[in-house]
Structure 1
């Protein structure tokens, strides 16, 4: 169990030991005891260390809420503080390797040497940064001592690199201890970020120019090393390797062939450029430091007040007794929570711990249970109004208004979740599944008397559509969650508030690291111009065919998403691919939605499907089989982008009757497609029937009047045939 999840569980247990636990939770607790996922980067602190880190997390969350709502801060300083605070907490919380259970092993002589040399370099560099700050505060001179500026950089960067290498080779795996090397990496973070904040105005003027100082470069080098190492700890090597390739490309350009060739950049220009709002501090961190952290804290408030638990319970009460009830509950609950928290795999772990065991209980195979949860959790990121922060990132990149993006996302999201629902329902009919007994479910009547617990979501949506800023709307929703909790036994007091702010900071650390790493990639693309050249190649390969260009864009988006969280994947793919698609004549809104959908759905695309893998860990299923099944369940999401390419009415563009027609026929199309995929359509569907359903579905999906009529006629004939000849006997489920 990760530190975030473990801390969350411990705190919830302490807070609610004497509280009444719902029946559904009691059943799930036993079902999931032996299915606890093992996640790397685990550390669990106790006593003073725990409280010290908890207080730092609370301060980090509170700082962002104050700056966003009360105390505005200069943009560069705020973003650098966001990155620096995230790095500092990350190194204190996440270990270099998964924890060992054995006793503490003595440090090797080589490790001691690395720690001594690395620590000396970091401490020396940090001390000189302190000298620079003190000099400015006491002398009033804008020019710091030359000797300090000339000598702080190399020891700081070299010491940081040595400490990182030491953490790889000689990881300290003790529990309830912060390794000295990680503490020193925290010091390096403070030193590098303090230097960059101090000289932010000058850096904006001299970034990437010959006038950049050597100390500028070395502070940026230190920052890049720290970002990549934390990303490795919290998100794995894939994104680090991708970023490393891009960084290497900046220096190897003169020796590369064809369109990859460029004149190359010296380190001073590259690193001083990369740590500006063209790189690390660009759109991904701009969104991470505002919208993402705000809504992650909002999700933590829902969790701390147990308002989020109400969403799951009311779904169980409404649908838990129906065919495949727990799977249908997963669609609703995971979609709702996934919309808010913005991470597919994280949402699978959060809601899947409840829904997956119950799906298995009513007869779903482990891999199917995990696949449904993965498909629903991933779909949450395409569900307005929050879209897992996707709407905000798209607005930032494209300049299209947030409200226009939200409106455009409504029908595709409905079509996708309707498709997942149809898949689940057909599977339940095919295999003769039943729901949970009503006496084992929460009582709907009692829950409806607490319908006011939906108020935070209602306030959020109402305020967004009333013209309030996203920041103000999110803050109002957060405050509403705290207020409505006062009407429940789980009233939010100082202790719960502390826990919510702590949990919010812990939950956002991974996103900070990956957004900063994505910023490095975006900076390389901007500096080298590879994005425009790639667009030219895309145009050439597509031979002026928009459809072929979109196919290439789909492949690139999915491949990028396999190696990084979807937020970062979209930001990078939009920088590389979107200009080329738009140059082919595709509308910017359509182009960016197309890329965003496939970046999101990479989380359930084999062979590297992060959301499916998270679900398989909970279900105890085979990861590859789970990813294949999640791909099948979420198949509509791979078709919907082509639907709104052929008919932009699906994105609320055009007359109301055209929007209505396209929405209805698209929903009917995915209904037929679901029947074909599951092999059940008013009875068992033999292969000729399944082929007919696929043809009818694709005809309805394409969006034209003629194809719609053909699809409706074929669907009617197929339905009539199945009603008369289709076997209604359930099919035995394969292991």
Structure 2
């Protein structure tokens, strides 16, 4: 067996272990034709409705969810250890049919369920179908996404049922028939905003990501990043950060991006001299950051646009500065670690040739097109459709990406497979959001957080951060945003904070759960590739991504970083420069190295100076700048360590 084959097996095993969506059946037998046809049909349906206009939200959502759940039961076994067994067991085939039936029951009975049932009530059979639909959704979500979000959804349902018996945050309570029909036949729960967005915009953008993979743009990103950063100090790590950030914005999954790009970048960093746990942490922090990188932002930006009322094309502009600050922080961490270890850049002959890169510049066309159309005000639907078309055309430019008719059908199915975790997560998150809305739980949680913080704004932010990290652990990007936006955001909305700043705050802290111990799945996946200690990788990832734990406090305190309020060029420039200096101070303290090794007193002082620099007050910022300048002067007077002197002599 070749080394390449071994690496591929390791990669697949890691994906299945840390990424539930990758634990699918690998030997479907004749059932492969069924999933091919059904998956292709779902993608064609999404493209067709994008062109001609979507059906009413309940019908569009029911077709979307029904086909997805059917595919989940055909592709994902009841236990992840059963993925290599041939075929589909009879009970999963039966569950697939029932899942399809429960959702298409809404399609065929739409008028009666929406209009007549309000007056005459739901029939006993309606209630049975709703119950079956909810149970099948939860089990499908467990298989394809994981247990954490299912547990939260079950707790939400129990809260809806037994609210009358719960002190302080209780409510009148529902009986099961009322709760089940409210969850399954209304447009505010399972078929609420998350699944409505999933059945229109998100699916198209995920399929766009599949088309980009087909054109090998991932390797192109790696080569571009290596060419741009490879010559500089710690160039391999900086290339990993740049490439993973670019890939992460279209992948929609921190874990998938870590494994996908990490199989190339982590060995490269280890060969350059970085410790295995640091290589794993670098890849995990960069891949996680891809979820906050415009324009796609892990697909959560579409739901954010609906929740906040801020147009999508404005959100991608608003998110630029925080994303740049985040990746600047990770770059700084890798730079200081490389300086500490004396790891320099690669030789020019080791870098990708400019001539070869120039021949593949057309691969940027779909991304440029989608971003350009969004900024010009086109709807996300049309931007995605045109970009998909451009990627499809570009795939025929090269022999290795040119598709036959069979491969076109296969890529249509791949689009459906990629979307399954997002669809299941959005529908299940709808249960949570629906319960929070119908029972009035959101304001009660907000009130509890405010009471716990005794009305102190900073403490409210801190407790909201903790809630978001806990709620975000183990959840995919779109689901964790829905959960945190409905359960944690109301606490901050009680203060005079711009709505978009609040939603970006909870979004960021939901995302960093992927690298926050103890449930830091992206770091665990990176550690698996690097053969490193998983917890050590997780702790190091937090140090590298420390900016992600600071930036949300900054843009809530200084909304100009989100281009809100008095966001003129001068104010924004001052805020960004101050933030970058503050992150440089904190990042160097986390690594323990600046110009030379930092002692523990210098590290503490740098953290204090960095926090003062990012504080939204000119006096504090100037004090922070003075502290930073003093430590910098001390470091330069101390001089470079011997290993750096030798390299520069």
Q: Following TM superposition, by how much is the alpha carbon of 1:487 offset from its aligned partner in structure 2, in angstroms?
A: 3.0
Which among 508, 528, 533 is matched to residue 419 of structure 2? 508
Moved more, 183-192 or 29-38: 29-38
Distance 1:182 1:467, change over 3 A: same
Match 1:92 to one of 64, 74, 84 = 74
Aligned residue for 2:647? none
Q: Deviations over 1:94-115 (max 9, x none)?
A: 1111235xxxxxxxxxxxxxxx
Partner of 1:267: 176
Counting only pairs closer than 5 Å after superposition, residues 329-728 of structure 1 correspond to structure 2 as 329-493=239-403, 494-653=405-564, 654=566, 655-728=568-641
Structure 2-normalised TM-score? 0.93
1:328 aligns with 2:238: yes
Q: Is the 8 A contact 2:298 2:477 kept in 1?
A: no
Partner secondary structure for residue 258 of structure 1: coil
Flag structure 1 segments of 5+ consecutive residues without an equivalent.
Answer: 1-25, 101-172
Number of residue pairs matched by the alignment: 633
| Residues 231, 514 of structure 1: 8 Å contact kept | yes
CA offset at residue 458 of structure 1? 0.8
Deviation readout 1:642-682 (Å, 9 max, x if unpaired)? 11122111111222210111011111211121111111111
Q: Name 2:26's counterpart in structure 1.
A: 44
Per-residue deviation, 1:78: 0.7
Q: Does 1:290 align with 2:197?
A: no
The answer to whether the aligner puts 1:57 opposite 2:39 as a matched pair is: yes
Distance change (3 Å), C-alpha of 1:476 and 1:511 = same
Stretch deviating more after TM superposition (400-409 or 28-37):
28-37
CA distances 1:341-390 after superposition (whole Å, capped 9, x unpaired): 22111221221222122222222222212211111111111111221112
Q: Deviations over 1:586-644 (max 9, x none)?
A: 22111111111101111111111122122222222222222111111111000001111
Alpha-carbon spacing, 1:730–1:568, altered in 2? closer, same or farther (3 Å)? farther
Verify the 8 A CA contact 2:366 2:387 in the aligned structure 1.
yes
SS of the equivalent of 2:418 reads helix
Tell me which moved more, 305-314 or 465-474.
Answer: 305-314
Measure, in 2, the Cα distance between the counterparts of 1:689 and 1:658.
30
The verdict on how the C-alpha distance between 1:31 and 1:671 changes in structure 2, with shifts beyond 3 A counting, is farther
Distance of aligned partners of 1:280 and 1:423 in 2 relative to their CA distance in 1, 3 Å threshold? same
- Specify the structure having the higher radius of gyration (Cα): 1
For residues 159-199 of structure 1, give each alpha carbon's deviation from its aligned partner in whole angstroms, at most 9, with x where no partner exists.
xxxxxxxxxxxxxx662211111000011112211212222
> What are structure 2's unaligned runs of at least 5 residues?
18-22, 645-649
Identify the residue that residue 300 of structure 1 maps to in structure 2. 210
Within a 5 Å distance, the mapping from 1:128-143 to structure 2 comes to none
Alpha-carbon displacement from aligned partner over 1:37-70 (angstroms, at most 9, x marks no partner)? 3425331126533233223222211211111123
1:340 is displaced (CA, Å) by 1.5
Residue pair 2:300, 2:477 contacting (<8 A) in 1 also: no
Equivalent residue for 2:147? 237
What's the C-alpha RMSD, in Å, of the aligned pairs? 2.1
Q: Structure 2: how far apart are the matches of 1:349 and 1:501? A: 23
**CA separation in 2, counterparts of 1:200 and 1:312?**
49
Q: Give the deviation of 1:28 after TM superposition.
A: 7.0
Partners of 1:423 and 1:633 within 8 A in 2: yes
